[in-house]
Amino acid sequence: MVNPSKIKEAYRKVADQNEKFRRFLKNNAVDYELDAHFLKLHNMIFAEYDCCACGNCCKLYDILVNKDDIERISQYLGLTENDFIEKYLAASDEGYIMKEKPCRFLDEDGKCKIYEIRPSVCRDFPYTDKPYRLYHMYGVLSFAEECPVVFEIIERLKKIYKYRSNDCQKEKRKNNRRRNTNEHGW
Ligand code: SF4
Ligand code: SF4
């Protein structure tokens, strides 16, 4: 697994390949089969990974907080909704977001202080267990730039779809053709 502090660097090395892989999936993958692979890898990798050692999503993203989240979290904190909004949230084009980055509810051990009642986007991120991933690959790949688990899922998907070996085989065929042209003038 990529170290969370090195994820940007690691992502830069595979960014072009990931974009080609996205196009490959679009042309070759069957949507429900891809979802099944995503779900299996999501469950397998998150079961072994300690998100407290990362926290990138809590440090780097604008965290949307919807109406239900506001009601639930303000109640939990014993604040009125207005006081909660004033203290913790900021307005954005898409609605309220957490005012600060890293999120103020992230503690020094990497744990979420409101884990049980955290916003729904925090619960759902990085969406790799959701259906229709084939139609959301831009989003999935952008998360691989910050989330080591998504990065790992993409790398394992390349293996499952034999993407690298296909690439290599294509390259090999191209080289063979070139060699034949040079040697035999075909
Ligand atoms: S509410 Fe919790 S899970 Fe969500 S960003 Fe803040 S610390 Fe992370
Ligand atoms: S979900 Fe991804 S980015 Fe967020 S803490 Fe876990 S591994 Fe890190």
- Mark the ranges of the chain whose per-residue pLDDT is less than 50: 165, 168-169, 171-172, 175-176, 180, 183-186
Per-residue model confidence as pLDDT tens digits over 113-130: 999 999 999 999 999 999
Interval between CA 143 and ligand 1 midpoint (Å): 16
Cβ(126) – ligand 1 distance below 6 Å:
no
- Every domain of the chain and the residues it spans: 1-52+127-186, 62-124
Cα of 51 vs centre of ligand 2, distance in Å, is 5
Tens digits of residue pLDDT in 45-70: 999 999 999 999 999 999 999 999 99
- Among residues 132, 161, 158, the alpha carbon closest in space to that of 144 is found at 158
Residue 157 near ligand 1, beta carbon < 6 Å: no
Look at the pTM and tell me if it is higher than 0.75: yes
**Ligand 2 binding pocket includes 45 (Cβ within 6 Å):** no
Nearest Cα to Cα of residue 121 among 65, 180, 161: 65
Residue nearest ligand 1's atom 1 by CA: 118
DSSP per-residue codes, 53-121: GT-HHHHHS--B--HHHHHHHHHHHT--HHHHHHHHEEEETTEEEESSSS-TTB-TTS-BTTGGG--HH
